[in-house]
Chains A and B, each alone.
Chain A
């Protein structure tokens, strides 16, 4: 439990870790509510509202997330930017990564959006219910061969990942035999294929289900798919998989043994409810005084748009985020994105381009705007563009040094007139790519 000061700095970090950063003034307002109230505001959000103009493409047309390539990404990005329930979107992103399903294997934006709605519905609810719902989710059934798994030809794909990636962890408390037996328990799903529609009518068909007795984790029974899930989350080694994995989405250093134990007990005591665990993590001191995290590309993008007060009005965000390593609905593989490795020289350039794309429409024209010939004023103005985010003293020093060097090149009267606006533009860009805004 964090007992230090909860000021705008802490509120800002909370908003980044549990959402997509503050809009102008939001961190200050949240800080006034105190830590407990601030966490509650995130985990028990009120009615869904969207603030700001609706998302559109370049030509001003509404998005077509089910049909148009890339609009699925834009549609969700828009919810991140305009929604008033940031933690709900952030948890949906957590589940998207946890149960990483890619439209590369599903081939239907419609089914991907259905899965997305499922994640949002269970955002902080029961993990057992979430996994149960995921198990029969059409996109997942296609992605991990669930509808190819029948009593005549069992397919172990989902059974294996259910234990390895979703509930227990690799080599933790299950055998190859458990995989085979769980695959039998999971048999029975099927779907049809209709010309022009694609995969459709996903359902459980008793005819395809193996009703025989199975032996899973040393227990015997005529288990079916619901049992398969329940057996996994009730497994004694599930909480010790669940807690550090969930923790890792919010705090980069592992929890201490005692913290982990306490969170596991909290999780089991609340019958596998996610909300109490998330609330405890969001109140943990390490979130406020621990090391920083590199923002995932969509969090970075959504956050810059929120800070600049801009909505989704260009389709570029899809490929820009893809270049930065994160196109929504297309995680790289079943284990999701690698949160430790967002940055390399190529993704760094993509993040630079994202920042420039946010500032571009508002770029100052040096022929029309007179910016001050003063380093401090220029920095203050550029910070204001982003709603006054807090900058470290080191970053301020580098930016001031740069500004002075750039101002020194203004050695003619026309340069004195036009360069300050160029410098103000560059400062906006540089603030957005500074370590302060790349990480939280």
Chain B
């Protein structure tokens, strides 16, 4: 049973539809923005050199047969070290007041009588009123090492309370429902290459809207089951026997003419590839550190990403969803604890992996959510949609200290009882583009000059 709100489910559906547009777009309600990237053409591609099944978006502008050449060329051009930005999305609106609980604030227990976290707990060194969520020990470790910047109240004024709209604003980098390209997509349009879809890689099998471009090609990894042969009503031993017959069946009529020869050889290649890609589920990569094992595949995606970077693939912007259900309208404790634990542990493993591989100085990871949650809990041990929320920036070159602040709850709430933002999310974007990519933010963020720059990178 899902405890998230119906609008959340619908918005997830619609976003899925960005990639699986053919499976039917749910009706868009009046005023709802269309997700960035909707309608971009998509081609399924196999990157033979790396054994990856990809969906490539916006590939109309380059010839697909030359596509591996473009990637190889981009990989060489990128040597030795292009900076990489990883966007990790906490889907649903993560509760910043539980991730960093203001136990020292006199109003905290009044607003959160049932959900308040205990005073004991993991101290947050930069603000003695705050405690890390007990399941966020990994994040605390990163913070203590100076590799995690926390922005406790990031957002924008008059925050939209719709998952859909607010998420869209974050994705496109502007409070503009009509924008159809993502903020990183516009960066790639200007700074990317016309022949390297890996420069914008979504790891969830569907195009992540922040990466939606208008012309530069980007790709989505179809992931663990991207090259899976599924047969309805067939399983177990019968299925194994069936799939082992793929190649012999393809060649059953011989290869006497061109058509039969192409069927026979494609079936053989397909069967071989099926075996090669079967282990892509994280286990295929030799990771120098241990990642958590989880059915969601989130830690494995990060493990795979580190392996891809180590393998020299020319990635620049990468996007994926964190594990967890953050739209915690009821019984929030369990969902939140599970999500934060696995996400934090996985991020720490990823950071350790990058360090072990000598890649740590090349990669910054931005963790964000479409909004925070209402300061006051609701009647079902949950919280409703809020305004400002939490974002984090992880990496050896992240500043590592808090940006913005968590104001006293007495003064820090807007008329709806939601946290006011102390940092605008576009300040984060413009600063990242300039400091991390050395790119003029005006080329990707509308009205970029209006946003105060933050010192994010060291």
Question: A residues engaging B (CB < 8 A)?
Answer: 57-58, 68-70, 104, 252, 291-294, 315-320, 322-323, 330, 332, 340, 342-350, 352-353, 356, 359-360, 363-366, 392, 394-395, 397-399, 401-402, 405-406, 409, 415, 419, 421-423, 425-426, 429-430, 433-436, 438-439
Question: Are A394's CB and B262's CB within 8 A?
Answer: no
In Å, the complex CA distance between A434 and B264 comes to: 10
A-B contact count, CB below 8 Å?
A: 159
4 nearest interchain CB pairs? A319-B22, A363-B233, A291-B257, A425-B233
* Interface hub of A342, A346, A359, A430 (most chain B Cβ within 10 A): A346
How many positions in chain B have a CB within 8 Å of any CB in the partner chain?
49
Interface residue? B270 (CB, 8 A): yes
Contact B231 A425 (CB under 8 A): yes
Please, how many angstroms separate the alpha-carbon atoms of A350 and B45 in the complex? 11
Among B233, B237, B250, B260, find the residue whose CB has the most chain A CB atoms closer than 10 A: B233
Instruction: Check A356–B230 contact: CB distance below 8 A.
Output: yes
Q: How far, in angstroms, from A328 to B231 measured CA to CA in the complex?
A: 26
Contact (Cβ within 8 A) B232 A294: no
Q: Is the CB of B252 within 8 A of A434?
A: yes
| A422–B41 CB distance below 8 A | no
Contacts A292-B257, A319-B21, A398-B248 given: A435-B234 contact, CB under 8 Å? no
Residues of chain B lying within 8 A (CB to CB) of residue A344: 46, 266, 269
**Are B229 and A352 in contact (CB-based, < 8 A)?**
yes
Among B45, B233, B238, B260, which residue has its beta carbon within 8 angstroms of that of A439?
Answer: B260
B241: chain A residues within 8 A (beta carbon): 402, 405-406, 409
Partner of B250, one of A340, A359, A435: A435
Report the separation of the CA atoms of residues A330 and B39 in the bound assembly, to the nearest whole angstrom: 12
Q: For A315, what are the chain B residues with a Cβ–Cβ distance below 8 Å?
A: 22-24
B284 located at the interface, meaning its Cβ lies under 8 Å from any Cβ of chain A in the complex: no
Which residues of B sit under 8 angstroms from A422, Cβ to Cβ?
A: 233-236, 238-239
Q: Which residues of A contact B23 (CB under 8 A)?
A: 315-316, 319
List of B residues within 8 angstroms of A317 by Cβ? 22
* B442 in contact (CB, < 8 A): no
Give residues 231-263 of B contacting A (CB, 8 Å): 231-239, 241-242, 245, 248-254, 256-260, 262-263
B258: chain A residues at CB < 8 Å are 252, 291, 340
Indicate whether A345 sits within 8 Å of B259 (C-beta atoms), given known contacts A322-B42, A430-B242, A436-B253.
no
For B265, give the chain A residue with the smallest CB separation: A343
Closest to B60 in A: A104
Chain B residues numbered 17-73 whose CB sits less than 8 Å from any CB in chain A: 20-25, 39, 41-42, 44-46, 53, 60
| A352 proximity list for chain B (CB < 8 A) | 229, 270
**In the bound complex, CA of A332 to CA of B41 (Å):** 10
If A398-B248, A429-B242 are given as contacts, then 20 extra A-B residue pairs at C-beta distance below 8 Å, sorted by A number, are A58-B24, A68-B25, A293-B259, A317-B22, A319-B21, A322-B42, A342-B262, A346-B45, A346-B46, A352-B270, A359-B232, A365-B233, A392-B253, A395-B252, A397-B252, A406-B241, A409-B238, A426-B242, A430-B242, A438-B263
Closest to B277 in A: A345
Q: Closest Cβ of chain B: how far from A347's Cβ, in Å?
A: 8
What are the residues of chain B within 8 A of A426 when measuring CB–CB? 231, 233-234, 238-239, 242
- Some 16 contacts from A to B, beta carbons below 8 A apart, are A104-B41, A252-B257, A291-B259, A293-B259, A315-B24, A319-B21, A344-B266, A345-B270, A346-B44, A365-B233, A406-B241, A409-B238, A422-B234, A423-B238, A435-B260, A438-B263
Taken together as a complex, chains A and B put the C-alpha atoms of A398 and B263 apart, in Å, by: 15
**B44/A364 in contact, CB under 8 A:** no
